[in-house]
Structure 1
Amino acid sequence: MRPKQTLVLGLILLVPVLAFLFLKSFGSNSFALRTYLPDRVDSTQIGEKWKRDTVFHQVADFILQSQSGRTTTQKDLNGSLYVASFFYTTCAGACPQMNNQLARVQEKFRHEPRVKLVSYTVDPVHDSAAVLERYSEQYGAIAGKWYFLTGNKSAIYQLATREFRLPPPTGEAPGLVHSQQLFLVDRDKHVRGIYDGTDTREIERLITEISILLYTYDHNKSGT
Protein backbone atom coordinates (compact mmCIF):
# COMPACT_ATOMS: atom_id res chain seq x y z
CA MET A 1 0.00 0.00 0.00
CA ARG A 2 1.29 3.43 -0.91
CA PRO A 3 2.24 5.84 1.93
CA LYS A 4 -0.44 8.33 0.85
CA GLN A 5 -3.12 5.63 0.91
CA THR A 6 -1.89 4.47 4.31
CA LEU A 7 -2.16 8.01 5.67
CA VAL A 8 -5.70 8.45 4.34
CA LEU A 9 -6.78 5.10 5.81
CA GLY A 10 -5.23 6.04 9.13
CA LEU A 11 -7.11 9.34 9.22
CA ILE A 12 -10.38 7.60 8.36
CA LEU A 13 -9.89 5.19 11.25
CA LEU A 14 -8.83 7.99 13.59
CA VAL A 15 -11.91 10.19 13.07
CA PRO A 16 -14.42 7.98 14.98
CA VAL A 17 -11.90 7.54 17.82
CA LEU A 18 -11.48 11.31 18.15
CA ALA A 19 -15.26 11.81 17.94
CA PHE A 20 -15.79 9.26 20.70
CA LEU A 21 -13.21 10.93 22.95
CA PHE A 22 -14.77 14.35 22.30
CA LEU A 23 -18.29 13.17 23.09
CA LYS A 24 -17.12 11.32 26.17
CA SER A 25 -15.38 14.46 27.42
CA PHE A 26 -18.42 16.58 26.57
CA GLY A 27 -20.75 14.23 28.38
CA SER A 28 -18.63 14.03 31.51
CA ASN A 29 -17.82 17.73 31.82
CA SER A 30 -20.83 19.64 30.48
CA PHE A 31 -23.86 17.96 32.03
CA ALA A 32 -24.09 20.32 34.98
CA LEU A 33 -26.90 22.72 35.78
CA ARG A 34 -26.74 25.84 37.88
CA THR A 35 -28.51 25.91 41.24
CA TYR A 36 -30.61 29.01 41.97
CA LEU A 37 -31.85 30.86 45.06
CA PRO A 38 -28.88 30.90 47.47
CA ASP A 39 -29.78 31.13 51.15
CA ARG A 40 -26.43 31.73 52.81
CA VAL A 41 -22.70 31.01 52.70
CA ASP A 42 -21.28 28.64 55.31
CA SER A 43 -17.60 28.47 56.24
CA THR A 44 -15.93 25.27 57.40
CA GLN A 45 -12.33 24.86 58.51
CA ILE A 46 -10.29 22.14 56.83
CA GLY A 47 -6.87 21.99 58.42
CA GLU A 48 -5.56 25.53 58.47
CA LYS A 49 -7.80 26.71 55.66
CA TRP A 50 -11.41 27.85 55.57
CA LYS A 51 -13.74 26.62 52.83
CA ARG A 52 -16.79 28.65 51.87
CA ASP A 53 -19.85 26.78 50.56
CA THR A 54 -23.10 28.27 49.30
CA VAL A 55 -26.21 26.74 50.84
CA PHE A 56 -29.11 26.84 48.38
CA HIS A 57 -32.77 27.17 49.22
CA GLN A 58 -34.97 24.07 49.37
CA VAL A 59 -38.63 24.52 48.49
CA ALA A 60 -40.67 23.97 51.64
CA ASP A 61 -43.61 21.61 52.01
CA PHE A 62 -47.15 22.68 51.20
CA ILE A 63 -50.66 21.34 51.75
CA LEU A 64 -53.00 22.21 48.86
CA GLN A 65 -55.91 20.76 46.93
CA SER A 66 -55.54 19.33 43.44
CA GLN A 67 -57.99 19.49 40.54
CA SER A 68 -59.31 16.09 41.64
CA GLY A 69 -60.16 17.48 45.09
CA ARG A 70 -57.38 15.44 46.69
CA THR A 71 -55.03 16.91 49.30
CA THR A 72 -51.55 17.17 47.80
CA THR A 73 -48.17 17.82 49.46
CA GLN A 74 -44.49 17.68 48.57
CA LYS A 75 -44.56 13.98 49.50
CA ASP A 76 -46.52 13.33 46.31
CA LEU A 77 -43.47 14.62 44.42
CA ASN A 78 -40.80 12.68 46.31
CA GLY A 79 -38.30 11.06 43.96
CA SER A 80 -39.41 13.31 41.10
CA LEU A 81 -38.28 16.55 39.55
CA TYR A 82 -41.02 18.98 38.64
CA VAL A 83 -41.80 22.18 36.77
CA ALA A 84 -43.59 24.76 38.92
CA SER A 85 -45.71 27.66 37.67
CA PHE A 86 -48.12 30.26 39.06
CA PHE A 87 -51.26 31.26 37.16
CA TYR A 88 -54.95 32.01 37.53
CA THR A 89 -57.77 30.56 35.46
CA THR A 90 -59.32 33.89 34.46
CA CYS A 91 -56.04 35.13 32.99
CA ALA A 92 -56.56 35.66 29.27
CA GLY A 93 -53.01 36.54 28.21
CA ALA A 94 -49.78 34.87 29.29
CA CYS A 95 -51.35 32.05 31.34
CA PRO A 96 -52.92 30.17 28.40
CA GLN A 97 -49.67 30.54 26.43
CA MET A 98 -47.69 29.18 29.35
CA ASN A 99 -50.04 26.24 29.92
CA ASN A 100 -49.94 25.36 26.23
CA GLN A 101 -46.16 25.20 26.49
CA LEU A 102 -46.42 23.07 29.63
CA ALA A 103 -48.66 20.68 27.71
CA ARG A 104 -45.72 20.24 25.31
CA VAL A 105 -43.44 19.41 28.23
CA GLN A 106 -45.96 16.90 29.56
CA GLU A 107 -46.17 15.20 26.17
CA LYS A 108 -42.39 15.06 25.83
CA PHE A 109 -42.06 13.26 29.18
CA ARG A 110 -45.40 11.45 29.12
CA HIS A 111 -43.79 8.09 29.83
CA GLU A 112 -41.19 9.35 32.32
CA PRO A 113 -42.71 9.01 35.83
CA ARG A 114 -39.93 11.06 37.43
CA VAL A 115 -41.07 14.23 35.64
CA LYS A 116 -44.13 16.09 36.95
CA LEU A 117 -45.72 19.50 36.52
CA VAL A 118 -47.19 21.60 39.33
CA SER A 119 -49.30 24.65 38.49
CA TYR A 120 -50.35 26.74 41.48
CA THR A 121 -53.44 28.85 41.03
CA VAL A 122 -53.21 32.16 42.82
CA ASP A 123 -56.87 33.08 42.68
CA PRO A 124 -58.44 30.58 45.08
CA VAL A 125 -61.66 32.60 45.37
CA HIS A 126 -62.56 31.62 41.81
CA ASP A 127 -60.35 28.58 41.25
CA SER A 128 -62.16 25.84 43.15
CA ALA A 129 -61.30 22.18 42.56
CA ALA A 130 -64.27 21.85 40.20
CA VAL A 131 -63.14 24.85 38.15
CA LEU A 132 -59.57 23.52 38.11
CA GLU A 133 -60.73 20.11 36.94
CA ARG A 134 -62.49 21.63 33.93
CA TYR A 135 -59.55 23.94 33.31
CA SER A 136 -56.96 21.14 33.46
CA GLU A 137 -58.96 19.12 30.94
CA GLN A 138 -58.46 21.91 28.38
CA TYR A 139 -54.74 21.16 28.43
CA GLY A 140 -54.99 17.39 28.63
CA ALA A 141 -53.47 17.21 32.10
CA ILE A 142 -52.69 13.62 33.07
CA ALA A 143 -53.76 12.64 36.60
CA GLY A 144 -50.75 12.20 38.86
CA LYS A 145 -48.53 13.84 36.23
CA TRP A 146 -49.72 17.43 36.06
CA TYR A 147 -51.13 18.88 39.27
CA PHE A 148 -53.27 22.02 39.31
CA LEU A 149 -53.26 23.14 42.93
CA THR A 150 -55.27 25.65 44.92
CA GLY A 151 -55.87 26.42 48.57
CA ASN A 152 -55.52 29.11 51.19
CA LYS A 153 -54.64 32.41 49.50
CA SER A 154 -52.07 33.36 52.14
CA ALA A 155 -50.34 29.97 51.82
CA ILE A 156 -50.03 30.30 48.05
CA TYR A 157 -48.81 33.90 48.41
CA GLN A 158 -46.08 32.72 50.80
CA LEU A 159 -45.18 29.84 48.50
CA ALA A 160 -44.77 32.19 45.54
CA THR A 161 -42.90 35.01 47.27
CA ARG A 162 -40.90 33.15 49.91
CA GLU A 163 -40.20 29.75 48.36
CA PHE A 164 -39.83 30.80 44.71
CA ARG A 165 -38.99 34.42 45.47
CA LEU A 166 -41.40 35.99 43.04
CA PRO A 167 -41.82 39.74 43.63
CA PRO A 168 -44.82 40.77 45.74
CA PRO A 169 -47.79 41.79 43.57
CA THR A 170 -48.56 45.45 43.01
CA GLY A 171 -51.01 47.50 41.00
CA GLU A 172 -54.67 46.76 40.43
CA ALA A 173 -54.64 43.33 42.12
CA PRO A 174 -52.11 43.52 45.00
CA GLY A 175 -53.17 40.14 46.41
CA LEU A 176 -52.84 38.29 43.11
CA VAL A 177 -49.50 36.63 42.36
CA HIS A 178 -48.82 35.15 38.95
CA SER A 179 -45.81 34.95 36.70
CA GLN A 180 -44.62 33.92 33.24
CA GLN A 181 -41.66 32.21 34.89
CA LEU A 182 -41.33 28.46 35.14
CA PHE A 183 -39.14 26.81 37.77
CA LEU A 184 -37.36 23.48 37.39
CA VAL A 185 -37.16 21.86 40.83
CA ASP A 186 -34.93 18.83 41.29
CA ARG A 187 -35.67 15.82 43.49
CA ASP A 188 -33.82 17.50 46.39
CA LYS A 189 -36.22 20.48 46.13
CA HIS A 190 -33.56 22.87 44.77
CA VAL A 191 -34.42 25.21 41.90
CA ARG A 192 -32.18 24.25 38.96
CA GLY A 193 -33.65 26.39 36.19
CA ILE A 194 -35.83 29.47 35.60
CA TYR A 195 -37.51 30.02 32.21
CA ASP A 196 -39.94 32.30 30.38
CA GLY A 197 -42.97 30.05 30.03
CA THR A 198 -44.25 31.89 26.95
CA ASP A 199 -41.02 31.62 24.92
CA THR A 200 -40.71 28.54 22.70
CA ARG A 201 -36.90 28.66 22.81
CA GLU A 202 -36.97 28.79 26.59
CA ILE A 203 -39.23 25.74 26.65
CA GLU A 204 -36.75 23.89 24.46
CA ARG A 205 -34.05 24.79 26.97
CA LEU A 206 -36.28 23.53 29.78
CA ILE A 207 -36.81 20.20 27.99
CA THR A 208 -33.08 19.87 27.41
CA GLU A 209 -32.24 20.62 31.03
CA ILE A 210 -34.83 18.15 32.31
CA SER A 211 -33.12 15.54 30.13
CA ILE A 212 -29.74 16.54 31.60
CA LEU A 213 -31.03 16.07 35.16
CA LEU A 214 -32.46 12.66 34.28
CA TYR A 215 -29.16 11.69 32.66
CA THR A 216 -27.35 12.80 35.82
CA TYR A 217 -29.63 10.70 38.00
CA ASP A 218 -29.10 7.67 35.79
CA HIS A 219 -25.30 7.95 35.54
CA ASN A 220 -24.11 9.72 38.68
CA LYS A 221 -23.79 7.26 41.56
CA SER A 222 -23.87 10.08 44.09
CA GLY A 223 -27.35 11.03 42.83
CA THR A 224 -26.60 14.76 42.71
Structure 2
Amino acid sequence: MRNRRHVLHLITTGRQELEEVEALLAKVPEGSLDALHIREKHRGAKEIVHWYERLHSLLPWAPIYINDRLDAAAAVGSPGVQLGYTSLGPAAARKLMGERTRIGVSVHSALEAVKAAEEGADYVLFGHVYLTGSKEGLAPRGTEALAEVTNASPLPVIAIGGITPDNVREVLAAGCAGVAVLSGFFGQKDPVGQLLRYQEELGRRASTPRRLSQ
Protein backbone atom coordinates (compact mmCIF):
# COMPACT_ATOMS: atom_id res chain seq x y z
CA MET A 1 0.00 0.00 0.00
CA ARG A 2 1.32 3.42 -0.96
CA ASN A 3 2.05 5.93 1.76
CA ARG A 4 -0.57 8.64 1.96
CA ARG A 5 1.31 11.86 2.46
CA HIS A 6 1.28 15.43 1.27
CA VAL A 7 4.07 16.58 -1.02
CA LEU A 8 6.21 19.70 -1.23
CA HIS A 9 7.47 21.13 -4.52
CA LEU A 10 9.92 24.04 -4.74
CA ILE A 11 9.84 26.25 -7.83
CA THR A 12 12.57 28.69 -8.86
CA THR A 13 11.44 32.31 -9.10
CA GLY A 14 13.04 33.45 -12.34
CA ARG A 15 14.53 36.39 -10.43
CA GLN A 16 17.73 34.80 -9.16
CA GLU A 17 20.92 33.67 -10.80
CA LEU A 18 22.03 30.05 -10.65
CA GLU A 19 24.76 30.70 -8.10
CA GLU A 20 22.27 32.22 -5.67
CA VAL A 21 19.86 29.32 -6.13
CA GLU A 22 22.68 26.85 -5.54
CA ALA A 23 23.73 28.64 -2.36
CA LEU A 24 20.18 28.44 -1.00
CA LEU A 25 19.73 24.78 -1.92
CA ALA A 26 23.16 23.64 -0.71
CA LYS A 27 21.93 23.46 2.89
CA VAL A 28 18.66 21.68 2.16
CA PRO A 29 18.49 18.35 4.06
CA GLU A 30 18.25 15.24 1.92
CA GLY A 31 14.68 14.10 1.46
CA SER A 32 13.15 17.40 2.58
CA LEU A 33 11.39 18.11 -0.71
CA ASP A 34 9.60 15.98 -3.29
CA ALA A 35 10.49 17.91 -6.45
CA LEU A 36 12.40 20.98 -7.54
CA HIS A 37 11.06 22.86 -10.58
CA ILE A 38 13.28 24.89 -12.86
CA ARG A 39 10.90 27.67 -13.92
CA GLU A 40 13.02 30.22 -15.74
CA LYS A 41 10.86 31.55 -18.56
CA HIS A 42 13.40 34.10 -19.77
CA ARG A 43 16.22 31.58 -20.25
CA GLY A 44 16.94 29.56 -23.37
CA ALA A 45 17.14 25.79 -23.65
CA LYS A 46 20.93 25.70 -23.40
CA GLU A 47 20.89 27.65 -20.15
CA ILE A 48 18.07 25.52 -18.73
CA VAL A 49 20.13 22.39 -19.46
CA HIS A 50 23.06 23.99 -17.61
CA TRP A 51 20.82 24.73 -14.63
CA TYR A 52 19.56 21.17 -14.61
CA GLU A 53 23.03 19.66 -14.68
CA ARG A 54 24.30 21.87 -11.88
CA LEU A 55 21.27 21.39 -9.64
CA HIS A 56 21.10 17.65 -10.29
CA SER A 57 24.73 17.40 -9.21
CA LEU A 58 23.93 19.41 -6.07
CA LEU A 59 20.75 17.47 -5.22
CA PRO A 60 21.11 14.00 -6.74
CA TRP A 61 18.32 12.70 -4.50
CA ALA A 62 15.69 15.23 -5.63
CA PRO A 63 13.59 14.86 -8.80
CA ILE A 64 14.13 18.00 -10.88
CA TYR A 65 11.27 19.02 -13.15
CA ILE A 66 11.55 21.48 -16.02
CA ASN A 67 8.73 23.91 -16.66
CA ASP A 68 7.53 24.41 -20.23
CA ARG A 69 10.83 23.78 -22.07
CA LEU A 70 10.28 20.26 -23.35
CA ASP A 71 13.35 20.50 -25.60
CA ALA A 72 15.59 21.02 -22.58
CA ALA A 73 13.70 18.39 -20.56
CA ALA A 74 14.14 15.80 -23.31
CA ALA A 75 17.82 16.65 -23.67
CA VAL A 76 18.60 15.87 -20.02
CA GLY A 77 16.00 13.16 -19.46
CA SER A 78 14.18 15.12 -16.78
CA PRO A 79 11.89 12.87 -14.67
CA GLY A 80 9.13 15.46 -14.80
CA VAL A 81 7.80 18.45 -16.71
CA GLN A 82 5.30 21.16 -15.83
CA LEU A 83 3.11 22.49 -18.64
CA GLY A 84 1.59 25.96 -18.67
CA TYR A 85 -1.17 27.65 -20.65
CA THR A 86 1.02 28.22 -23.71
CA SER A 87 2.85 24.87 -23.54
CA LEU A 88 2.17 21.80 -25.62
CA GLY A 89 -0.61 19.66 -24.22
CA PRO A 90 -0.06 16.53 -22.11
CA ALA A 91 -0.63 14.13 -25.02
CA ALA A 92 1.99 15.81 -27.19
CA ALA A 93 4.37 16.09 -24.26
CA ARG A 94 3.97 12.37 -23.55
CA LYS A 95 5.02 11.53 -27.10
CA LEU A 96 8.20 13.54 -26.64
CA MET A 97 9.03 12.55 -23.07
CA GLY A 98 7.85 8.94 -22.80
CA GLU A 99 5.70 7.06 -20.33
CA ARG A 100 8.00 7.32 -17.33
CA THR A 101 8.00 11.12 -17.22
CA ARG A 102 5.62 12.73 -14.76
CA ILE A 103 3.61 15.40 -16.52
CA GLY A 104 1.99 18.22 -14.60
CA VAL A 105 -0.38 20.85 -15.96
CA SER A 106 -1.08 24.27 -14.48
CA VAL A 107 -4.86 24.77 -14.22
CA HIS A 108 -7.23 27.44 -12.97
CA SER A 109 -10.55 25.59 -12.79
CA ALA A 110 -12.13 22.20 -12.23
CA LEU A 111 -12.93 21.96 -15.95
CA GLU A 112 -9.27 22.47 -16.86
CA ALA A 113 -8.22 19.83 -14.32
CA VAL A 114 -10.60 17.26 -15.79
CA LYS A 115 -9.37 18.08 -19.31
CA ALA A 116 -5.74 17.65 -18.21
CA ALA A 117 -6.60 14.20 -16.88
CA GLU A 118 -8.33 13.25 -20.12
CA GLU A 119 -5.22 14.29 -22.07
CA GLY A 120 -2.90 12.13 -19.98
CA ALA A 121 -1.44 14.36 -17.27
CA ASP A 122 -0.24 12.82 -14.00
CA TYR A 123 -1.10 15.73 -11.68
CA VAL A 124 -2.27 19.34 -11.81
CA LEU A 125 -1.00 22.52 -10.18
CA PHE A 126 -3.82 24.86 -9.14
CA GLY A 127 -3.54 28.50 -8.17
CA HIS A 128 -3.10 31.06 -7.15
CA VAL A 129 -4.83 30.28 -3.88
CA TYR A 130 -3.81 33.36 -1.87
CA LEU A 131 -2.46 36.80 -2.72
CA THR A 132 1.08 36.56 -4.02
CA GLY A 133 3.67 38.99 -5.32
CA SER A 134 4.23 36.87 -8.42
CA LYS A 135 0.60 37.55 -9.50
CA GLU A 136 0.26 41.25 -8.70
CA GLY A 137 -3.12 42.73 -9.50
CA LEU A 138 -4.84 39.35 -9.82
CA ALA A 139 -7.39 38.28 -7.23
CA PRO A 140 -6.65 34.97 -5.49
CA ARG A 141 -8.93 32.04 -6.28
CA GLY A 142 -9.18 30.92 -2.66
CA THR A 143 -9.62 27.61 -0.91
CA GLU A 144 -13.24 27.14 -1.98
CA ALA A 145 -12.18 27.08 -5.62
CA LEU A 146 -9.34 24.74 -4.66
CA ALA A 147 -11.84 22.38 -3.04
CA GLU A 148 -13.97 22.43 -6.20
CA VAL A 149 -10.93 21.38 -8.21
CA THR A 150 -9.88 18.62 -5.81
CA ASN A 151 -13.45 17.27 -5.79
CA ALA A 152 -13.67 17.21 -9.58
CA SER A 153 -10.14 16.16 -10.50
CA PRO A 154 -9.27 12.49 -10.96
CA LEU A 155 -5.63 13.57 -10.57
CA PRO A 156 -3.63 14.74 -7.55
CA VAL A 157 -3.94 18.52 -7.13
CA ILE A 158 -1.00 20.55 -5.84
CA ALA A 159 -1.87 24.03 -4.58
CA ILE A 160 0.27 27.09 -5.32
CA GLY A 161 0.20 30.81 -4.66
CA GLY A 162 0.83 32.64 -1.40
CA ILE A 163 1.07 29.45 0.64
CA THR A 164 2.96 29.81 3.92
CA PRO A 165 3.48 27.39 6.80
CA ASP A 166 0.70 29.25 8.64
CA ASN A 167 -1.96 28.47 6.04
CA VAL A 168 -0.81 24.99 4.93
CA ARG A 169 -3.39 23.18 7.03
CA GLU A 170 -6.18 25.33 5.61
CA VAL A 171 -5.03 24.41 2.11
CA LEU A 172 -4.75 20.71 2.92
CA ALA A 173 -8.27 20.76 4.32
CA ALA A 174 -9.43 21.48 0.76
CA GLY A 175 -8.20 18.02 -0.21
CA CYS A 176 -5.07 18.80 -2.20
CA ALA A 177 -2.14 16.41 -2.49
CA GLY A 178 0.41 19.00 -1.41
CA VAL A 179 1.78 22.48 -1.99
CA ALA A 180 4.26 24.25 -4.24
CA VAL A 181 6.19 27.34 -3.14
CA LEU A 182 8.49 29.93 -4.71
CA SER A 183 9.19 32.95 -2.51
CA GLY A 184 8.03 30.94 0.49
CA PHE A 185 11.47 29.36 0.27
CA PHE A 186 13.66 31.35 -2.10
CA GLY A 187 12.64 34.72 -0.65
CA GLN A 188 13.27 33.88 3.02
CA LYS A 189 16.09 34.93 5.34
CA ASP A 190 16.17 31.40 6.75
CA PRO A 191 15.04 29.23 3.81
CA VAL A 192 16.00 25.92 5.41
CA GLY A 193 14.15 26.78 8.61
CA GLN A 194 11.15 27.75 6.51
CA LEU A 195 11.37 24.50 4.58
CA LEU A 196 11.32 22.53 7.81
CA ARG A 197 8.25 24.49 8.94
CA TYR A 198 6.47 23.49 5.74
CA GLN A 199 7.45 19.89 6.31
CA GLU A 200 6.17 20.02 9.88
CA GLU A 201 2.78 21.31 8.75
CA LEU A 202 2.57 18.85 5.87
CA GLY A 203 3.53 16.02 8.19
CA ARG A 204 0.66 16.69 10.59
CA ARG A 205 -1.70 14.99 8.12
CA ALA A 206 -4.64 17.04 9.39
CA SER A 207 -6.45 15.73 6.32
CA THR A 208 -5.91 13.04 3.73
CA PRO A 209 -5.23 14.04 0.12
CA ARG A 210 -8.11 13.12 -2.15
CA ARG A 211 -5.62 11.80 -4.71
CA LEU A 212 -2.19 10.35 -4.07
CA SER A 213 0.82 12.12 -5.53
CA GLN A 214 4.61 11.79 -5.63
TM bucket (normalised to shorter chain) is 0.3 to 0.5
Structure of greater relative contact order (alpha carbons < 8 Å, 6+ residues apart): 1
Higher strand share: 1
Q: Normalization by structure 1: what TM-score?
A: 0.37
